[in-house]
Amino acid sequence: MSRSGRSTRTTPWALVVALGLVSLASPAMTLLGADAPVRVKLATLIPRGTPPHEILLAMGEKWRQAPCGGVTLTIYPDGVMGGEADMVKRMRVGQIQAGLLSVVGLSEIDNSVSAIQNLPFMFRSLEEVEYVREKLRPTLEKRLADKGFVALFWGDLGWVRFFSKNAAVHPADFMKMKLFTWSGSPEQVELMSNLGFHPVPLETNDILPGLQTGLIDAVDTSPLYALAGQFYGPCPHMLEINYAPLSGATVITKKAWEGICPAARAELLKAAQDAGQQVTARSRKESAEAVEAMKKRGLKVHPVPLEVEAEWRRLAEGAYPKIRGKLVPADMFDEAVRLLRDYRASGGK
């Protein structure tokens, strides 16, 4: 898949650096000087036109104005580069250089990140989510760096909700359905099966066709995704329960990052971290607005009584011994539990 540029007797160092950033599947790029822009390709499942996509575009404009000629950021939304596992593979071979990934994709790099998402019903508030993520961030970033990736920003899209074809409230209601699960995680499929569910692993681009054809009957996702993907059409019922946060990060390959001049990196990182804060704040706000928009299109929202929430929590807590060490590394699981215990003991400070 690789194609290299033509060699010359005297190759400027700027050209050598630039060639390290170019997609292996695209024509070689020739720089005319040290201040020519570096090109970075970023892929994501985020739908075009949603708040996270708009924020990435604004971040790209700031990157373009960075020192040393700036960075030209090309964004590929809507999963056009494939599922998140595919995106990680493309980054590893240099076909793209960056990705905004959920925990599912990040786990393809290092599964330590699963501690900020794959803990159903463990988090009671988004403040707890932020606290644990921030405390774990240095460890997570070091482990990602050890695998050749630099984390640019972290964030979440708010709570995952359950959307289903038929009204469903109790865990037993969902056990009668074929439930979407992320492709590429046999451990998740095994766990759900052991709990009595009927998981069907799919890529996100296959969710809507799967719902329309009866391949699946229910999906757990962010309301933003449900609205953008029109899942509320075949799935007009939503269970209003805080199952888990939809967390993730934007990463860039270390090779690409180190190929950018040091004077530019600080500005790029600041723009990225500002973008991460905006993605989280706007996505949480607009997730609530997405629910209201879907209600106007026929979505029926089912609140969860306390006794039913207790059913879900008992089910999740019974699964924690199976999650620890399989879906989430034991050390990270224990650390997340410890951090939550300390946070709650301090009164949320």
Average pLDDT over residues 8-26: 36
Q: Is the pLDDT of residue 340 over 50?
A: yes
Q: Is the pLDDT of residue 240 over 60?
A: yes
The CATH fold of domain 13-345 = D-Maltodextrin-Binding Protein; domain 2 (3.40.190)
C-alpha distance across the termini of the chain, in Å: 51
pLDDT tens for 283-334 read 999 999 999 999 999 999 999 999 999 999 999 999 999 999 999 999 999 9
> How many Å apart are CA 334 and CA 303, to the nearest integer?
31
Confidence band of 122 (pLDDT split at 50, 70, 90): very high
pLDDT tens for 186-226 read 888 988 998 999 999 998 889 999 999 999 999 999 999 99
Share of the chain above pLDDT 70, in %: 90
Residue 182 pLDDT: 87
pLDDT tens for 256-271 read 999 999 999 999 999 9
Residues 6+ apart with CB under 8 A from 313: 121
192-220 burial code (b ≥16 CB/10 A, e <16): beeeebbbbbbbbebbbebbeeeebbbbb
Mean model confidence pLDDT for the chain? 90
